[in-house]
């Protein structure tokens, strides 16, 4: 068992020790941290006063330390999956959830925040501090602070079970994705697949023991990894393979020991029970409490989108079906989901003479990142430069960057993990906070702690000495996630509980990312 002295999770650090943390550190590290934070919570409850220095600052230090350390564990859960890691998280997660509930259900802290809200000094607080108070009051209510005895006990049981089910759900998706492998030895079966994907499929075959595999001659192993799956549906002329891959993808974790159906049903039951314990009619009402939208506005938007898009969508399908019929395709009379992307791409090629794969050489990853950084310099007057080597990373393909303002002062850092690794990394793309900007750890007249984040994607990996060549969709994803990163990194808010993307309604968080994504097409 690792002691505090040699457990990297418990050390003070500027950059997380991603190269040193192992699954064996998680149980003792998190338990030791929780014991320490438990003591700090007890001290806070014993000394709390409705002032910023006696309530909010010590609370933020507790919240921040747990967030940063558990963030390392959670990050590994997303990008470095392994059986030992899963076992450690499964064992320690209930203890982490128990402490979070104790913190959020603290009546002492809740009433202290209410006292601030109701005090004569309320109007003297700046908007950021008012936001912190309002957010913490709502968080406490949504976490059951008003519940008593058996109702609170049941609420906590539900939260524990939901956390466990959510973790299992993600694991099943990842395992089901990894389990699908289609060995192909006849190139006719994968006719139409671009060379980039043939290369990935042959590399996969090599890793599985087919040492002589090549992109030209095979054999190839088709997986449900994002770049491969999408390419099969868009480019493979073998309809039976498209169907097999499509069905495998949409039915992941839908049967056998990895079946998520009972988990989903249980999650829905628990969410409804949780909502009713909190005094709501359904879980949608609970969810909307932390968003700008309302249920009625969301339903109205769906209706507007349906009315605006239905007829054009039907017309598009008719055009695709007519085009396929004109090419003698048997599936034109009974077009299925695995046919739409394929024939839509063929129609686009015919009408506009544009082939998505032929655009890849124009978007090598280094060039895309240079263009992105040049754009952010023009928009925000910042410089982004490589800083590899000053911060530990979790994979050799991860790069690290420093962000400087117009006076060359460092204002933020970020990690970039671009490539798909289906054996250990969950699908999709995201930005995650490592640490946020805050002044609570700064001495007098010292600058605030600088924000750091991850930008994680799942794009086509490079091959040998050639860079990753990106589709326009992959370019969009990078720009989108970098929009989230910019909102986190360029914040000038010193109140850590609401700096960056913290404290922003979830449906408003997407504004910055959509703004950056639009630059892929507009100048």
Q: How many domains does the chain have?
A: 3
Q: Is the dihedral of CA 216, 219, 221, 222 positive or negative?
A: positive
CATH number for 455: 1.10.1370.40
Q: Please check whether residue 213 lies inside any domain of the structure.
A: no
Looking at the DSSP assignment, which residues form a beta bridge with residue 403?
Answer: 384, 412
Task: For helices 57-79 and 83-104, give the axis angle rounded to 10 degrees.
Answer: 160
Q: Please check whether residue 401 lies inside any domain of the structure.
A: yes
Return the number of other C-beta atoms located less than 10 Å from residue 462's C-beta.
17
| β-pair type (182-184, 220-222) | antiparallel
Q: For the chain, list residues with pLDDT below 50.
A: 1-2
Do 384 and 464 lie in one domain? The reply is: yes
Give me 271's structure tokens: 């969410």
Q: How far apart are CA 285 and CA 272, in angstroms?
A: 10
Q: What is the pLDDT of residue 157?
A: 98
| β-pair type (410-419, 452-459) | parallel
Return the number of other C-beta atoms located less than 10 Å from residue 204's C-beta.
22
Q: How far apart are CA 165 and CA 265, in angstroms?
A: 11
Q: Please check whether residue 297 lies inside any domain of the structure.
A: no
Indicate which residue of 481, 495, 505, 517 is catalytic.
Answer: 481
Do 424 and 350 lie in one domain? The reply is: no
What confidence tens digit (pLDDT) does each residue in 419-454 have? 999 889 998 999 999 999 999 998 777 899 999 999
CB of 485 closer than 8 Å to CB of 431: yes
At a CB cut-off of 8 Å and minimum separation 6, what does 168 contact?
Answer: 263
CATH number for 90: 1.20.1050.40
Do 369 and 316 lie in one domain? The reply is: no
At a CB cut-off of 8 Å and minimum separation 6, what does 359 contact?
Answer: 471, 472
Do 512 and 366 lie in one domain? The reply is: yes
Give me 362's structure tokens: 């124009």
CB of 319 closer than 8 Å to CB of 296: no
Give me 204's structure tokens: 């996969």
Q: What is the pLDDT of residue 381?
A: 98
Q: Please check whether residue 254 lies inside any domain of the structure.
A: no
Do 365 and 389 lie in one domain? The reply is: yes
Do 326 and 367 lie in one domain? The reply is: no
Among 145, 162, 140, 136, which residue's Cα sits nearest to residue 502?
A: 136
In the annotation, is 289 catalytic? no
| Average pLDDT across the chain, whole number | 95
Q: How far apart are CA 197 and CA 460, in angstroms?
A: 8
Do 481 and 509 lie in one domain? The reply is: yes
Among 461, 487, 484, which residue's Cα sits nearest to residue 474?
A: 461
Do 349 and 365 lie in one domain? The reply is: no
- The residue whose two tokens read 């969810």 is 287
The helix/strand/coil state of 107 is: helix
Q: Please check whether residue 400 lies inside any domain of the structure.
A: yes
Q: Please check whether residue 339 lies inside any domain of the structure.
A: yes
Q: Which residues of 71-91 are buried (b: 16+ CB within 10 A; e: fewer)?
A: bbbebbbbbbbeeebbebbee
Q: What is the pLDDT of residue 2?
A: 47
Q: How far apart are CA 409 and CA 392, in angstroms?
A: 22
Alpha-carbon dihedral angle through residues 199, 204, 210, 214, given to the nearest 10 degrees:
0
Cα angle at 206 between 462 and 426, to 5 degrees? 55
Decide which of 354, 380, 395 is a domain's last residue: 354
Do 123 and 88 lie in one domain? The reply is: yes
Decide which of 142, 162, 189 is a domain's last residue: 142
| β-pair type (399-404, 383-386) | antiparallel
Decide which of 354, 386, 413 is a domain's last residue: 354
CB of 268 closer than 8 Å to CB of 278: no
Q: Please check whether residue 186 lies inside any domain of the structure.
A: no
Do 470 and 332 lie in one domain? The reply is: no
Q: Is the dihedral of CA 157, 159, 161, 164 positive or negative?
A: negative
Do 377 and 506 lie in one domain? The reply is: yes
CB of 94 closer than 8 Å to CB of 120: no
At a CB cut-off of 8 Å and minimum separation 6, what does 441 contact?
Answer: 61, 64, 449
Give me 1's structure tokens: 């068992």
CB of 68 closer than 8 Å to CB of 29: no
Among 116, 146, 150, which residue's Cα sits nearest to residue 130?
A: 116
Do 343 and 402 lie in one domain? The reply is: no
Domain residues for the domain of 313 are: 303-354
Q: How far apart are CA 123 and CA 111, in angstroms?
A: 18
Q: Please check whether residue 229 lies inside any domain of the structure.
A: no
Q: What is the pLDDT of residue 3?
A: 52
Residue 207 to residues 203, 213, 214, 460, Cα–Cα distance (Å) = 6, 10, 12, 17
């Amino acid at each position: 068992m690792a002691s505090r002295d040699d457990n990297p999770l418990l050390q003070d650090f500027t950059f997380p020790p991603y190269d040193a943390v192992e699954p064996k550190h998680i149980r003792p590290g998190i338990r030791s941290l929780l014991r320490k934070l438990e003591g700090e919570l007890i001290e806070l409850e014993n000394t709390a006063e409705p002032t910023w220095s006696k309530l909010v600052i010590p609370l933020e230090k507790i919240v921040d330390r747990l967030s940063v350390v558990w963030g390392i564990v959670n990050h590994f859960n997303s990008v470095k999956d392994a059986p030992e890691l899963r076992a450690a998280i499964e064992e320690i997660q209930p203890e982490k959830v128990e402490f979070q509930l104790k913190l959020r259900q603290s009546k002492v802290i809740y009433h202290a925040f209410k006292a601030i809200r109701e005090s004569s000094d309320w109007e003297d607080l700046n908007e950021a501090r008012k936001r912190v108070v309002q957010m913490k009051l709502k968080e406490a209510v949504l976490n059951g602070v008003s519940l008593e005895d058996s109702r609170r006990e049941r609420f906590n049981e539900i939260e524990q079970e939901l956390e466990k089910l959510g973790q299992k759900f993600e694991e099943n998706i990842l395992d089901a994705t990894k389990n699908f492998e289609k060995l192909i030895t006849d190139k006719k079966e994968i006719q139409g697949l671009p060379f980039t994907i043939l290369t990935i499929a042959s590399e996969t075959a090599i890793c599985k023991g087919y040492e002589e595999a090549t992109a030209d001659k095979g054999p190839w192993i088709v997986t449900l990894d994002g770049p491969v799956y999408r390419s099969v549906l868009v480019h493979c002329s073998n309809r039976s393979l498209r169907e097999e891959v499509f069905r495998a993808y949409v039915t992941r974790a839908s049967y056998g020991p990895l079946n998520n159906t009972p988990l989903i049903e249980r999650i829905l039951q628990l969410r409804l029970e949780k909502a009713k314990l909190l005094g709501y009619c359904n879980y949608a009402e609970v969810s909307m409490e932390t968003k700008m939208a309302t249920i009625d506005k969301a339903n109205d938007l769906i209706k507007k989108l349906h009315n605006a898009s239905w007829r054009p969508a039907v017309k598009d399908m008719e055009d695709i079906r007519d085009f396929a019929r004109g090419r003698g395709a048997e599936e034109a009379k009974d077009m299925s989901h695995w046919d739409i992307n394929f024939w839509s791409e063929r129609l686009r090629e015919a009408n506009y003479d544009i082939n998505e794969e032929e655009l890849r050489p124009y978007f090598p990853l280094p060039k895309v990142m240079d263009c992105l950084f040049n754009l952010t310099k023009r928009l925000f007057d910042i410089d982004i430069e490589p800083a590899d080597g000053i911060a530990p990373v979790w994979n050799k393909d991860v790069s690290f960057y420093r962000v400087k303002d117009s006076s060359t002062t460092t204002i933020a850092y970020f990690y970039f993990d671009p490539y798909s690794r289906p054996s250990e990394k969950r699908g999709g793309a995201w930005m995650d906070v490592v640490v946020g900007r805050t002044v609570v750890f700064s001495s007098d007249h010292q600058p605030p702690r600088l924000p750091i984040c991850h930008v994680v994607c799942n794009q086509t990996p490079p091959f040998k000495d050639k860079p990753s060549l990106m589709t326009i969709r992959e370019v969009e994803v990078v720009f989108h996630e970098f929009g989230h990163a910019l909102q986190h990194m360029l914040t000038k808010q010193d109140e850590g509980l609401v700096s960056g993307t913290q404290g922003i309604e979830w449906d408003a968080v997407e504004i910055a990312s959509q703004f950056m994504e639009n630059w892929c097409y507009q100048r």
